[in-house]
Amino acid sequence: MAASTSDGGSVKQSNNSTSEDTEPSTEEFCPGFKDVDAFVKHGLGAVVAATKASACLPQAGDEFDFYRSFPGFQDFCAIQGDRLLQTMSQLMQHYGCSSLMKDRNKLTGLEDRFDLVVESNDVVLEKVGIMLDEASGMNRSQPVMPTGYQPPKIVVSSWNRKVRGRGAQTFCLLQAKNIQRPQLKFKEKVDNSNTPFVSKIFIKPNATKPLPSCEPEDLDVPAALADFIHQLRTQEHMDDMFSHPYQYELDHLVMPQHLGHKPEPQMYKPLAETSCKFIDTLEDLVALNEKLAKTTEFAVDLEHHSYRSFLGITCLMQISTREEDFIIDALELRSEMNVLNESFTDPTIIKVFHGADLDIEWLQKDFGVYVVNMFDTHQAARSLNLGRNSLDHLLKVFCDVDSNKRYQLADWRIRPLPGEMLQYAQADTHYLLYVYDRLRADLFDAANGQPSLVQVVWSKSKDLCLKKYVKPIFTEDSYMELYRKQKKSFNSQQLMAFRLLYSWRDKMAREEDESTGYVLPNHMMMKIAEELPKEPQGIVACCNPTPPLVRQQLNELHQLIKQAREIPLLKVSHAERSESTLFGPHDTSHVSESGFIELSSHGRSRHVLQTPDITFYLTILVSGEDADNSGHLTVAQQKARNITDSFENPFRMVRNLTSDDIHISKNAKYDPSSKIYEISNQWKLQSLEQQQKEAQAKRQAHEQAKKHNIKYMERIASEAREVTPKPNKVMKREETPIASNKQSEDSNPSTAFTPYDYSQSNFKVFTGGKSKDSAQFDPNRQTHERSRKVMFTTCHMLHPHTGPL
């Protein structure tokens, strides 16, 4: 791209001369497109539009299944699917690849189509590489191409046509692999250590509260005592070390008075008529800082690169005032950029950013520069509900400027920067002050002439200034965050491989100062952990294309996979998978076995369920008579007790069957020492044990029933003798009308029935007024009393801070 800017004039001249001599100037590159740039722009726009449209499709899972249930949606999917397959087939035929995308087996059709697409992509990308090398003037031997490959037809256009009468002029493509790493020139080595970030600021301009002073170490004290004193001082200043240096100033900052009045937008100068100075020396940087100190507002933007650096690098800073624009080479002046703290922390100067969330952190991380008194136009656009809050949308609405986002994702490490990239960087801040004026005016209009909305936007911007850069820290559980996002279920071997790969990737990225995406992208790492390849070639097969560091460390990665395959194959527990945010206090599937309810012999039980905020106490009260008479139960009550005791909580049964130590191996279920073997026989063992318990309980119940019947009959006879008067005739045992024994009646069926003479009885028994000392047996009363036995359940909710609710 640099060559294109330097030789732009010669290229244009050559194009004109060639078109005049050989071809008419009205010839189109492709039907509907006048040149390659128009075709590429149209194609890129179509790809972006297709990508945005795909994001609106129903997500895989329940949402897609719901839409799939409608016949209209099924028909639409079928029609569009056929169109896509037909288009893909045409593209593959155009490049000479196999294109039988239809009429595939339903069972293996998806895999076959996917393989065809992968092969076609390889062919197309290889052709692109050959043509790019041909365009750049490089000649290389033709590699071995897949079957069905057709030699590419070189398209001669204005960007690679030879110029008559002069040497060959070619367009040099600047790629990341051709750029020298700027980290090698840094005066201060990049700190990728696994330690928290410490502020780089040593001088605090515009300070209301100075930086904490570091007291000198005592040299006259013993070593042990000196170490103790140093620990005390470190602990004392620990909060100051990691706090925001301008926390006090920002907390006491007041919105400037001129922001409380509706502004008159000041029109910007044309971009071509505005001077733009490129600053790459310390003298020019100091002079810029002096100019900024005399202004009341200026616009700021940053260009960042994160693919070939672990923490990322700020490559460029753009600053615009009302009169001129400045572009600062942040790679060359990285260690001197803190000079700008004098103007960036001045509370009387407003710094205008757009989307300053990351810019604030990048300034702190790379330069030790902090911002005081900022206005974020992104926050203003959100307050106005403009629909779209991007900078290009604001430029189109307020300035009628179509921003060129061609270089938005460019590699800003390129030096020297091409003219197109410099122009793009200048345009980012050139119009921002005018947009700032227009947004403020619209905020006043939306608030009926009041500065309330401006105050809200300014407060949000101040909160952004308080953001602190947080360095990524690696811990033993760091891999779990990425594992949860992938929504995949791994067994113990796969999870161990994923953990080892994650640790290796983090170590390599810090050592080589490369991003984790460059070392090993997430989808490749998940693929390797899922497949667990047995050979190094399998690791390479999981990565397409294979990252350079993976090829270099292939043997080490193979050893990590072997290490993961050697551990026992266990099922991953639910707790290790994730801590579900849907957990509720009554979800007993997450409660340990010790948390289940256990009734005590005293008829009282207390069960506790704890959550981070509320503790639940469940108390069960059993009637005292039921607890005391548990040994004197009838046959029916004893059967009910046996049924209750035989019941097992289903959640406990599930937890017993899903232990963390269960082996999934097929060979393990035939091994008596394995858990699978034990579980397979658990139901048999439980059934035999339950049968033995039931038989023993029946025998005990039968014996107790016999004893109880004997005592029961004796008590009835004694009560009857006490009620009947002595001079009267004693009733025979078989003649008792109230509580006669059925066994005695059955044994003497031939005995004649003799009615009882009630005239000889004591009629006080039938008056209804029962004396307190009467021992008369009444089965109806006994039945009603037993039915009144109740179980009181009280649930007390006790809050840990407020006490009983």
User: Burial, 313: exposed, middle or buried (Cβ in 10 Å; 0-12, 13-18, 19+)?
Assistant: buried
Provide the pLDDT for residue 462: 96
Instruction: Give pLDDT, residue 626.
Output: 45
How far apart are the C-alpha atoms of 634 and 638, rounded to whole Å?
Answer: 6
Nearest-5° Cα angle at 62, 60 to 64 = 50
Cα distance between residue 203 and residue 345, in whole Å: 12
Q: What is the pLDDT of residue 767?
A: 53
What mean pLDDT is predicted for residues 311-337? 96
pLDDT score of 605 more than 50: no
Residue 737 has pLDDT above 70, yes or no: no
Q: Peptide bond before 725: cis, by omega within 30 degrees of 0?
A: no
Under the banding of pLDDT at 50, 70 and 90, the label for residue 673 is low
Average pLDDT over residues 415-439: 93
**pLDDT reading at 720 higher than 60:** yes
Neighbours of 319 (CB within 10 A): 22
Q: Who has greater pLDDT, 48 or 350?
A: 350
In this prediction, residue 471 carries a pLDDT of: 93
CA distance 364 to 351: 16
Residues 294-306: tens digit of each pLDDT: 999 999 999 999 9
Query: What integer pLDDT is reported at residue 232 of this predicted model?
Result: 65
224-228, 248-252, 601-605: segment of lowest average pLDDT: 601-605
pLDDT, position 351: 97
719-723: average pLDDT: 61
Q: What is the pLDDT of residue 616?
A: 41
For the residues 330-349, what does the mean pLDDT come to? 95
**Would you state the pLDDT for residue 61?**
73
Judge whether residue 309 has pLDDT over 70.
yes
If DSSP codes are grouped into helix, strand and coil, which group holds residue 272? Answer: helix
What is the pLDDT at residue 69?
Answer: 86
Per-residue pLDDT tens over the stretch 356-406: 999 999 999 999 999 999 999 999 999 999 888 999 999 999 999 988 777
Q: If you write DSSP's letter for every residue of 585-625 in order, what string do you get?
A: TT-GGGS-GGGS----TTSEEEEEEE-SS-EEEEEEEE-HH
Confidence of residue 788 (pLDDT cuts 50, 70, 90): very low
pLDDT given at position 160: 45
Q: What mean pLDDT do residues 266-295 have?
A: 94
Q: If pLDDT is split at 50, 70 and 90, which confidence band does 149 have? A: very low
* Model confidence pLDDT, tens digit, residues 45-95: 888 888 888 878 887 777 788 888 888 888 888 888 888 888 888 888 777
Nearest residue to 514 via CA among 306, 366, 310: 310
pLDDT of residue 704: 81
| Between 477 and 638, residue with greater pLDDT | 477
Per DSSP, helices labelled H in 724-797 are 742-747, 779-787
pTM above 0.75, yes or no: no
Given a cut of 70, is residue 612 above it in pLDDT? no
For the ranges 128-137, 260-269, 595-604, 651-660, the lowest mean pLDDT is seen at 595-604
- Dihedral angle computed from the Cα positions of residues 377, 409, 541 and 108, in that order, rounded to the nearest 10 degrees: 70
**Banded pLDDT at 179 (limits 50, 70, 90):** confident
Highest mean pLDDT among 58-72, 499-513, 737-751: 499-513
Residue 429, CA distances (Å) to 326, 391, 403, 435 in order? 9, 10, 12, 10
d(CA 200, CA 336): 12
pLDDT at position 770 is: 45
The gap from C-alpha 72 to its chain's centroid, in whole angstroms, comes to 35
Across the chain, how many H-helices and E-strands are there?
32, 10
CB contact at 8 A, 440 and 262? yes
**Listed range (366-380, 478-492, 687-701) with the worst mean pLDDT:** 687-701
Would you state the pLDDT for residue 690? 76
- Are residues 320 and 371 in contact, defined by beta-carbon separation less than 8 angstroms? no
In the DSSP assignment, the letter for residue 136 is T
Which of 68-82, 158-172, 709-723, 758-772 is modeled with the greatest confidence? 68-82
Distance CA(283)–CA(280), nearest Å, equals 9
* Nearest partner of 430 among 305, 303, 300, 522, judged by Cα: 300
Give the type of residue at 186. Answer: F
Find the farthest-apart pair of alpha carbons in the chain and give their distance in angstroms, rounded.
155
Position 352 pLDDT exceeds 80:
yes
249 vs 371: CA distance, rounded Å: 11
Place of tokens 């309330």: 452
Mean pLDDT of 634-646: 76
* Letter string b/e over residues 634-666, b meaning 16 or more CB atoms within 10 A of that residue's CB: eeeebeeeeeeeeeeeeeeeebeeeeeebbeee
pLDDT for the residue numbered 223: 63
Of 694, 703, 569, 607, give the one whose Cα is nearest residue 643: 694
Residue 575 is which amino acid?
A
Amino acid at 144: V
Do residues 777 and 716 lie in contact, with contact meaning Cβ atoms separated by under 8 Å? yes
Predicted confidence (pLDDT) at residue 156 exceeds the cutoff of 60: no
> What is the spatial distance between Cα 623 and Cα 602, in angstroms, rounded to a whole number?
10
pLDDT band at 543 (very low <50, low <70, confident <90, very high): very high
Question: Which residues, including other chains, have CB under 8 Å from residue 565's CB and lie 6 or more apart?
Answer: 493, 497, 532, 534
Nearest to 359 by CA among 330, 395, 397: 330
More confident residue, 738 or 501: 501
- Give kind and range of the element (H or E) at residue 803: strand 803-804
Maximum mean pLDDT: which of 164-173, 438-447, 722-731: 438-447
Within 8 A by CB and 6+ apart from 306, the residues are 312, 313, 515
Per mean pLDDT, which range of 14-28, 29-43, 54-68, 754-768 is the poorest?
14-28
Confidence band (pLDDT; 50, 70, 90) for 662?
very low
pLDDT band at 761 (very low <50, low <70, confident <90, very high): low
CA distances (Å), 575 to each of 473, 540, 571, in order? 23, 33, 12
Residue 22 confidence (pLDDT) = 41
Q: Find tokens 């209750």 and name the residue.
A: 644
Whether residue 118 contacts residue 124, with contact meaning beta carbons closer than 8 Å, is answered with no
* pLDDT of the residue at 37: 81
DSSP 299-336: EEEEEEE-TTSSS-EEEEEEEE-SS-EEEEETTTTGGG
Full strand arrangement of the beta sheet holding 350-353: 276-279, 325-329, 313-320, 297-305, 350-353, 374-376
**Average confidence score pLDDT of the chain:** 75
Instruction: Report how far apart the first and last C-alpha atoms of the chain are (Å, whole number).
Output: 72
Q: Say how many C-beta atoms besides its own lie within 10 A of residue 694's C-beta.
A: 15
Q: What percentage of residues in the chain have a pLDDT greater than 70? A: 62
Pair 662, 570: CB distance under 8 Å: yes
Specify the DSSP class assigned to residue 543.
-
